[in-house]
Amino acid sequence: MFDRLQKPFLTVETGEGCQPNRTTWHVKQKEPLINALEKLQCIRKNTSANSWDLFWTAECDALHFESMDAFRKNPENPVRLGSFSLRDDRFYFNTSSFKRACLVLPFIHDAVTKDSAHLFCTDFINKVFAIDERLPHGFAELFKDEELDRILSQRISDYHQVKEQCEHASTADEAFTVLAEYAKKEAQKRLPYAERYYFKTEEQTDPEVIFLAFYIFLRSRELVAIKRWYGETGYTLADANEDTIEKVFGEMGLDIID
């Protein structure tokens, strides 16, 4: 524990913990997607085919990272926030922190038309790394579709099992007890090393709601990773959800009970 307090976790240039993540879109039309990307001044094409870098400049200049209020930008050498790649019918955004993903995805969602690509999922790491720790090499090593789908399928199966128990409970108190025990058990579980978040982007859903839910989901897991890094092993996902929701809605000046 003392070693952890003396050795901070690895952070990226904008101040957040290094937690690699990858967002995937299903591509409908490649040419409109590429055209939309290459109109943006904050994006530069790489020499390799269908690969681009995103920088903290131009259209992205106003993105705000709370931990870096005193950061002095160099217009001639802007920070690279992430990279894009297009392979077959998949479009990927790779970045190294949850905050970057939460800030960039709404911006890209607005820039890319619905006819070009459909936002699908984000894969991410549920830990922070020591400064001298070996980082996984490449996103292919980090994120295995079969394992991520297995974790999600198990979670859905557990949820439906509890839902069925609640529906067949003889009293409301019994149903509440089942639900409370399930929530407590889930909150205390060790988070998987890698996890997947699926976006629900039906046409009637407000994009602000979509990305607010995404922020709360990732921010809660970031808090768990950081708290446990500093030895707070009793800090659960339920604690993180409560802290995150209180911060989000408190800053909005909203009473979430009403």
CA-based nearest residue to 52, from 86, 101, 78, 26: 86
What is this structure's pTM? 0.78
User: 21 forms bridges with which residues in the sheet?
Assistant: 95, 124
Mean pLDDT of all residues belonging to the chain: 80
CA-based nearest residue to 241, from 173, 192, 188, 197: 188
- Asked if the model's pLDDT at residue 84 lies above 90, the reply is yes
Domain limits of the chain?
Answer: 2-252
What is residue 256's predicted lDDT score, i.e. its pLDDT?
36
User: Which residue would you say has higher pLDDT here, 148 or 93?
Assistant: 93
For residues 228-249, give the mean pLDDT: 82
d(CA 44, CA 37): 9
Q: What does the pLDDT look like over 3-51, one tens digit per residue?
A: 545 568 888 888 889 999 999 999 999 999 999 988 999 999 988 778 9
What is residue 140's predicted lDDT score, i.e. its pLDDT?
60
- Asked if the model's pLDDT at residue 152 lies above 70, the reply is no
For residues 128-153, give the mean pLDDT: 69
d(CA 40, CA 194): 31
Distance of alpha carbon 130 from the chain centroid: 20
